[in-house]
A = this chain, B = another copy of it.
Amino acid sequence: MQKGILFIISGPSGVGKGTVAKALLEGSSGGMVFSVSATTRAPRPGEENGREYFFVSREEFDRMIEDGEFLEYMNVFGRNYYGTPRKYVEEQLMLGRDVLLDIDVNGAMKVKENCPEAVAIMLAPPSMKELRRRLETRGTEVQEVIERRLAEAKSELSRMAEYDYVVVNDDLNTAICQCRQIIESAKHTPEYCTEFVNELINEDF
């Protein structure tokens, strides 16, 4: 069976990663799944282990770090740990499913180091002014945090060359469509088609 591909959707805070990722998954007709993260935080009502997150203890998380079981992990606000378990991703890929990972720039670069064959897409805002507008409209952060996010965005965008693709999220539907084209193209690389072409070469004619 043809192995799946790991796609990383990444970019600055406020650029619309989550919305684009959700639309890609919904349009994938089951051939694509979200990566499920592990976390040390407690499950919230309605959350199910293995669906929203793998809920693990701090001791278990430490052991997983120790054993190299994460493609990346981070400590949020010095409290809860979040990480991308390699095992879940690899199992899905082996089942022929593509895996989608919606993640910040630092995390994306760590995953890309651990999985160089992953296809990393940087979502960029059409302008810094528009990114500011989106962060302000979201209304979830105080002004000081917004200024910090904008400064971070510039440093994140400057890592563009480490990505495989850059998509500008100006019009949402256009961005989604461009991501879909990239996802389709990834299935036409020689690495992905080796098995088929080898069969051709060995076919009697």
Contact = CB atoms under 8 A, between A and B. Distances in A.
B205 A132 contact: yes
A162 B197 CA distance: 13
B182 A165 contact: no
Interface in A149-183: 150, 154, 157-158, 160-168, 178, 181-182
Given A181-B181, A184-B178, A160 B129 contact: no
Given A185-B185, A197-B166, A190 B132 contact: no
B167 A188 contact: yes
A162 B124 CA distance: 31
Contacts of A121: 188
A204 to B, nearest CB: 7
A66 interface: no
A193 B205 contact: no
8 contacts: A127-B200, A127-B203, A128-B203, A128-B205, A160-B190, A161-B194, A168-B193, A178-B188
A161 B181 contact: no
Contact of A128 (B127, B181, B204): B204
A149 to B, nearest CB: 10
Contacts of A127: 200, 203
Interface residues of A, number: 40
The 10 A-B pairs of least Cβ separation, nearest first, read A128-B205, A185-B185, A166-B193, A181-B181, A128-B203, A165-B188, A181-B184, A161-B190, A182-B185, A160-B190
Interface of A: 121-122, 124-125, 127-129, 131-132, 150, 154, 157-158, 160-168, 178, 181-182, 184-185, 188-190, 192-194, 196-197, 200-201, 203-205
Nearest to A185: B185
Interface centre among A127, A128, A150 (most CB of B within 10 A): A128
**Residue of A124, A184, A189, A205 most packed against chain B (CB within 10 A):** A205
